[in-house]
Amino acid sequence: MAIPHDDGLESWLPAAQRGDRRAAERVLRALLPRVRNLVRYLVRGDSHVDDMAQQALIAILRGLPSYQGTGSFEAWADRITVRETLRIAKKERARAQARREAAPDLRVVRAEGARPDAYLERREAARLLDTLPAEQREALVLHHVLGMSVPEVAEALGVPFDTAKSRLRLAKKKLRARAEAAQGGRGR
């Protein structure tokens, strides 16, 4: 998930930090796919992904002057994206608690022997992630998508180490069982 640097992103970053609007736009455009994917993995469903990604990009833009350059810019942007997404998701869960409704379970039907394309595989992975409780999903995404260690996951989520470890274990167990059930249901 590294940002392509062939467009001179590293040369645009200092100008963006100084407030150059054109440079900031180039930096944010380069970050957009990464931020959107990370938000999608962290939250259930697609309805708020673009809004949350936009809020994360705004937070990144506001924080640009504070970026020290000690470490990967992508990792710095990821931390801001995670923090902003979890903040918004918490608010959304509180609002939606009274008006929860189940989403229809739509399945793609493929021709016999047809290979699934990458998009469908990602959608299936996202659908399986949607079945997890938010706390387990967040821990799983931080650990397996962003490659954070368990102590880093615990710190990012503001929970004890053992809680983060337990959430990861439970999430993996549930995902494994649900993936096996889904494979079995397709006549594999």
Check residue 108 and give its pLDDT: 54
Domain ranges of the chain: 1-95, 116-188
Torsion angles phi and psi, residue 168, rounded to 5: -65, -45
Mean residue pLDDT of the chain comes to 81
Does the pLDDT of residue 94 top 60, yes or no? Answer: yes
pLDDT bucket at 99, cuts 50 / 70 / 90: low
Distance CA 82, CA 92 (A): 15
Output the CA torsion sign for 9, 12, 18, 19: negative
Q: What is the mean pLDDT of residues 170-175?
A: 90
pLDDT bucket at 4, cuts 50 / 70 / 90: very low
Check residue 61 and give its pLDDT: 92
Q: What is the mean pLDDT of residues 48-76?
A: 90
The CATH-assigned architecture of domain 116-188 is Orthogonal Bundle (1.10)
| 1-95 carries CATH number 1.10.1740.10 | yes
Which has more pLDDT, 122 or 146? 146
Q: What is the mean pLDDT of residues 157-166?
A: 94
Cβ proximity of 64 and 109 under 8 Å:
no
Check residue 102 and give its pLDDT: 42
Check residue 114 and give its pLDDT: 59
Does the pLDDT of residue 112 top 80, yes or no? Answer: no
Distance CA 107, CA 112 (A): 15
Check residue 81 and give its pLDDT: 94
Q: Return the amino acid letter for 86.
A: L
